[in-house]
A and B are shown apart, each in its own frame.
Chain A
């Protein structure tokens, strides 16, 4: 184990530069209207899988790897909605997850933000129209930001979350 740790000390970090500022700023501008509360330069994120195919989860997990290193920006995942500022919601909002989703939303203290991750959370994606999925996430909870993709890649996710931080700072 020591050998591996020493090797890691000697090599340059794999972590990549943050996404381009203009991409972040563009998204942040779009968020301005909703950015009424200042949360400080850190966000605690709670993820809710509302019936995704697990593709989005894989890319959200990737945010924590050495290349993207989410925590350097003050963003971190928390295990309880009680500790969260942001709810990341994936999936087409299945009927079977609707109550759990609403309960988690209400368990999250205000101020809170909702970020819909992936095409499914936007409009059901390719599962739209099924008897087993809700029509629209926005009918259930207010959505602050949509991050498109099937699944969105980690760079898209990172850009969106940084925009959320920046939007808060402007208020």
Chain B
């Protein structure tokens, strides 16, 4: 981890009633009482703070916060000896599902939480509260009470968890009045694999492998977030070449996914031509990645301490050829997108996400940036080598499907710029270092900008060098509820379009 991160991540000083918990890096972690916890809830509710994550521990809850005005970050921890804590979701809806999930996993009760339905736990596991003192469960399942809708001639459309396309499992309950959607309610958790418990006691190699499989499309972002968190905890300084190559991988992952999304969104509007051409570009990205790093999706390439291997001798050439290819063909596709009236008719004004909601939920990635939220983890809190690279972060204001497509288009252009700079200035040297041996328990946290938004990783490494606890928060936690809001009042037929424009991760959310 670099000095940059540590320098920028100033403490949220108003929450420092005592000494921060020692050994937590780079942001401070403050032990607070319920009064300060509630103060944070109030500040989240009025938008003075942004919620980056809320997760459990054996006997406490943690909350990662960002103060956009002071550009500072901190973690608040509230001990829960009575196994309950004041609900944040009561005042700040972005925390609702996080608290429901936290109860499922730990059995810690959020006092005052308005929605106490189980979230990830469908009653199908052989245990309840698997991260606390797990008790036996028959696994027979239980009914889920969807929210009530009242009105004349409403009808419900249940969709999933097995979908018509090649996508992940999730259930959507659409209530419509004729064609107009009255409410969309998602039920998730179908892809829950119990990652957090698998991480308990895992050595760093295995934990890194698991982190890279939380959401397969963001395998580099997750492995990077986990590595950053571990490296912060151990105060390891990764060799510069590894940092630069990690950024190269992250940008390749970003453009590959953006090409896939741009094509798929247009396809969901019935415009298959864009899909055909974008899928070719995506395939070229994956092939370049395979040439350079040995795996099409670059799995298991990033590890704590650096990289598993240096870029292949011919890798730079393959990536440069990819850039040339994209620069040759992508402009015509952008023009096609922008000048096809029938496509624009579907995109513009569809699925509008209100900017206030986007800010309140601290929506990352193209979802937040298409609704005016100017946040990019590569810039703030920032990490190497982006402090040495030139790029701009596109932000738009309309918040519709069209703007979410345009953010992706503009980010592709920025990523191409970044990749060219990386290829031109790639430092020499080793790509991996041995992690320093840590005395005692250390903790680290990191925020990494994946293609979908900021991925949060928090890790506690024990004195044995194994993971004592780890939490990985996907950007989709905040995107899923916003999709429901953005889809309100649209027509049923635009659901695929809206859904794909968000492209939330099911697996990343379900853990």
Contacts and interface: CB of A to CB of B under 8 A. Distances in A.
Interface stretch (B42-50, B280-288, B479-487): B280-288
A3 B340 CA distance: 13
Given A4-B273, A55-B217, A62-B283, A131 B190 contact: no
A67 B283 contact: yes
Interface string B78-115: 00000000000000000000000000000000000000
Of B166, B190, B507, chain A has the most CB atoms within 10 Å of the CB of B166
Interface in B363-400: none
A104 B206 CA distance: 33
Interface in B256-285: 260, 273, 276-277, 279-280, 282-283
A47 B166 CA distance: 6
A94 B332 contact: no
A131 B194 contact: yes
Interface residues of B, number: 56
Contact of B168 (A52, A59, A126): A52
Given A1-B336, A131-B126, A131-B134, A97 B190 contact: yes
What size tier do the contact residues of chain A reach?
35 or more
Nearest to A107: B162
Contacts of B197: 130-131
Nearest to B124: A95
Given A67-B280, A99-B141, A131-B126, A94 B190 contact: yes
B221 interface: no
A58 B332 CA distance: 25
Given A54-B168, A54-B507, A66-B279, A91 B297 contact: no
Those 8 A-B pairs whose CB atoms lie nearest each other, nearest first:
A55-B216, A79-B164, A132-B194, A130-B194, A53-B216, A65-B279, A95-B124, A54-B216
25 contacts: A1-B339, A3-B332, A52-B191, A52-B507, A53-B215, A54-B507, A55-B213, A55-B299, A57-B168, A58-B260, A60-B166, A65-B276, A65-B279, A77-B166, A94-B193, A96-B124, A100-B169, A100-B190, A126-B206, A127-B195, A130-B193, A130-B198, A131-B194, A132-B192, A153-B296
Interface of A: 1, 3-5, 14, 47-62, 64-67, 77, 79-81, 91-92, 94-101, 103-104, 125-127, 129-133, 150-151, 153
